[in-house]
Amino acid sequence: MGSMRDMVSTELNGYGPAGGQRTRHRCVTRPWTPDGAGLLGMLPTPTGSVAFITDGAGLVGWGEFAAISVTGADAAAQIARWYAERRSALDVVDHVGVRGSGAVCFVSLGFAPNDASVAVIPEVVLGRQDGATFVTQIGDAPPTDRAAVTAPGQVAYADAEMSTTGFVMAVESAVDRIRSGEAAKVVLAHGLTAMTQFAVDERFLLVRLAERYPTCTTFAVGGLIGASPEMLIRRHGTRITSRVLAGTAWPERESDRVDGASGSAAPSTAAGAVPGATPGTAASTADAHPPGMHRVAVDLLASAKDLAEHAFAVRSVADVLGPLASALAVPAHPGALELANLTHLATDISGELTGADPVPSALDLAARLHPTAAVGGTPRAVAQAMIAELEPAPRGRYAAPVGWVDARGDGEFAIALRCAQVSGSTVRLMAGCGIVADSDPEAEAREAQIKMVPVRDALEG
């Protein structure tokens, strides 16, 4: 077959305004031999791409066979029904048969019911999954040249709806209310607006984020671009895994590093204590600190405040997955995930789905888990009400599930963190922090600013 740089479909989705089917479309997945460029390097246009890449593997796509935007508490269920209807108009020939082959739906859910959720079924998808590289094409693909990637030029920043001072005041209010017993934890966020000299080429951001944070998941859906360290749910058949992050610290000086650490130490499998969970078998950094571990990680693993915050998040995930899975593995202690500019307490949870017919899809699981205590708080309903009261603007799709699902129900969803919504030359960044009774408002504000650094650095080249 020809180079994928020459394949972009211009065919419309085949449905009338009322959703009535007009024509059928052929959907073919076949092996593909890369021509030297990475998956992100194959994206042909500055905007409109979808991506979900970790360590160079995953899926990217372009062109819209079909797209939808919905609101409501049942947004994920609406998208699932819509996706099934669109698949019914396809004649699928899959010569590969791995996760992500066939017609794939990319999804970015809204944080709250009134926030829009979007889904896209691309016309072209390139994949590198489970040892296979492949291409899926819906309809015909006329030749199209790949546009050169352009830089956004100069960047200026301004407060969004809430200034840093306003955020500190919101955190102070949350701490007071937590200490009074209203909640145990609440996650608060605020934004920053970047204005660029030229319209932003989404590929410019994607490539730089993937290069600088290769172990994070670089994603793009509906103009939401980011590199998330937190995999909310991965489903492969009946096997499920989830990485929970909560509790954060960062180096203030070079002497915070011990034993010559490089800042890129791999995380151990980890978790907060969850009553009734099956302990995992991986070694925990609570038992022995690996050579070269950053002093920040050592201190974070001993922080009562961060351990408590982490345990809330772990429990919120385990409580949802426990009734759906057998032998849910939740190690007894957290480990440290050291990224380029931050260190997080990390938990890897795993299990086997059992007992349900049909087995919940990755999208269904993501919707059930959202919002975890890592991005919302606990108790869930109380924390969500506090967020709506203390944050002056809706979150949109920030801190909500983003990822993909295939016709088998397999898929991967990260939490949309370290991200920004791109619209022409305007980029809206958001970041948040988990607030508990012992939180320091000034330190939380600093943490939020540091969490915006990945997108800021990518914008500035």
Going along 55-174, which residue ranges are E strands? 57-70, 90-94, 105-108, 117-129, 132-138, 155-159
3-state secondary structure 318-344: HHHHHHHEEEEECCCCCEEEECCCCEE
Two tokens at 409? 């129900």
Please report, as a single letter, which amino acid is at residue 221: V
Q: How many CB atoms lie within 10 A of CB 131?
A: 7
Residues in the chain: 461
Q: How many CB atoms lie within 10 A of CB 211?
A: 13
Q: Put residue 424 in one of left, alpha, beta given phi > 0 → left and psi -120 to 50 → alpha.
A: left
Q: How many CB atoms lie within 10 A of CB 143?
A: 10
User: In the annotation, is 309 catalytic?
Assistant: no
Residue 459's alpha-carbon distances to 206, 228, 415, 417, 429, in angstroms, are 10, 16, 21, 16, 11
The alpha carbon of residue 148 and the mean position of all alpha carbons in its chain are separated, in whole angstroms, by 27
Two tokens at 288? 């022995």
Q: How far apart are CA 208 and CA 134, in angstroms?
A: 24
Residue 435 CA neighbour count, 13 Å, CB half: 33
In the chain, what is the greatest distance between 2 CA atoms, to the nearest angstrom?
Answer: 66
Task: Name the packing angle between helices 75-87 and 362-369 (round to 10°).
Answer: 170
Q: How far apart are CA 185 and CA 101, in angstroms?
A: 40
b/e sequence 146-167, b meaning 16+ C-beta within 10 Å? beeeeebeebeeeebebeeebb
**Residue pointed to by tokens 């199209």:** 144
User: In the annotation, is 389 catalytic?
Assistant: no
- Degrees, nearest 5: CA angle 118-6-103: 35
Q: How far apart are CA 402 and CA 224, in angstroms?
A: 9
Task: Name 440's Cβ contacts closer than 8 Å, sequence gap at least 6.
Answer: none
- Among candidate residues 123, 230, 412, 444, the one labeled active-site is 230
- Among candidate residues 123, 185, 338, 412, the one labeled active-site is 185
As annotated, the active-site residues are 185, 230
